[in-house]
Structure 1
């Protein structure tokens, strides 16, 4: 019974999980700002989870550090199909200021998991993050509907 209710709700909503791969947390602050009354993420049917097993969209923040190379792939694999990864900020896209010769940053994140969208900026504005989620999220819902048939 509970699973049936959960399936009904998930058919019309987007569930995201913020995954910090090592960085300054600037992008994390902007992602969390989406929960404030100013942006009210939930009015769009978007819900934030701490568990990747509940996520349709993984928001990747921070540069991929040495410790996160294997962890990122493992977390991506835990998310249910279909899943979409979005690189938030310059760090998962290019390593930005952390990408130095001989450093311990392994950018871009797309070397480890498929990335559907990239949001440049250091950090990007919350409305840009919201627009990206709304651009790729419906595709995850549509793909989920095809897989259930």
Structure 2
């Protein structure tokens, strides 16, 4: 084998890579930085905002309103908002009710199984502040410290129209690059 010239690839233990003449090499970090600086990120965000698939794991009375939002009467499909049963096919988690200490590990597992980018909507007074179960021994407080909440929807329980408005607010945040899902 020939000796390496100064401008051929040499990979050290630190992972430093030199250039090869006539060959374009890149890293995923360089691609990510390139996309941030071009309109390609805007096109990607347009696609993301128009295909928000939410995970259906209803909790408490807010879960009934969440399911009603996904039904035909409110027609969320026109906004690209579709209910999904699998966390691997969903990109929006709706925390729709109080979270008990017993349910928190399962909720974290669902969150970890979702593919990135992913968003969280916190729906109802129970999920936001504990509601009537505030300072209960079994209810988790400050859910926003455990999940990166993008949109809070107050109410007890909030109407399906409020959840639909929350989705529209999330779409605005995605297009403005102010959501918690991606590092812009």
TM-score when normalising by structure 1? 0.76
Task: Kindly indicate whether the alpha-carbon contact (under 8 Å) linking 2:55 and 2:87 is maintained by their aligned counterparts in 1.
Answer: yes
Does residue 124 of structure 1 match 2:131?
Answer: no
Structure 2 CA distance for partners of 1:107 and 1:98, relative to 1, 3 Å: same
Question: Runs of at least 4 residues of structure 1 off by over 2 A?
Answer: 35-38, 137-143
| Structure 2: gaps spanning 5 or more residues | 1-46
Does residue 97 of structure 1 match 2:132?
Answer: yes
Counterpart in 2 of 1:63? Answer: 98
Q: How much does 1:19 deviate? A: 3.1
Q: How much does 1:141 deviate? A: 8.0
Q: How much does 1:142 deviate? A: 8.8
Higher mean Cα deviation, 76-85 or 63-72? 63-72
Task: Give the structure with higher Rg (CA).
Answer: 2
Task: Kindly indicate whether the alpha-carbon contact (under 8 Å) linking 1:60 and 1:87 is maintained by their aligned counterparts in 2.
Answer: yes
Question: What are the superposed Cα offsets for residues 87-143 of structure 1, whole Å, 9 maximum, x if unpaired?
Answer: 010111011111235x20012321321111110111001111011112214655897
Does residue 13 of structure 1 match 2:51?
Answer: yes
**DSSP-derived class of the 1:121 partner:** coil
**DSSP-derived class of the 1:52 partner:** coil
Return the alpha-carbon distance in structure 2 between the equivalents of residues 92 and 64 of structure 1: 7
Which structure exhibits the higher relative contact order, with contacts defined as CA atoms closer than 8 Å and separated by 6 or more residues?
Answer: 1
Q: How much does 1:69 deviate? A: 2.1
Return the alpha-carbon distance in structure 2 between the equivalents of residues 91 and 62 of structure 1: 5
Quick check: which one's strand share is greater? 1
- Equivalent residue pairs, number: 131
Return the alpha-carbon distance in structure 2 between the equivalents of residues 76 and 38 of structure 1: 28
Does residue 79 of structure 1 match 2:117?
Answer: no
**DSSP-derived class of the 1:48 partner:** strand
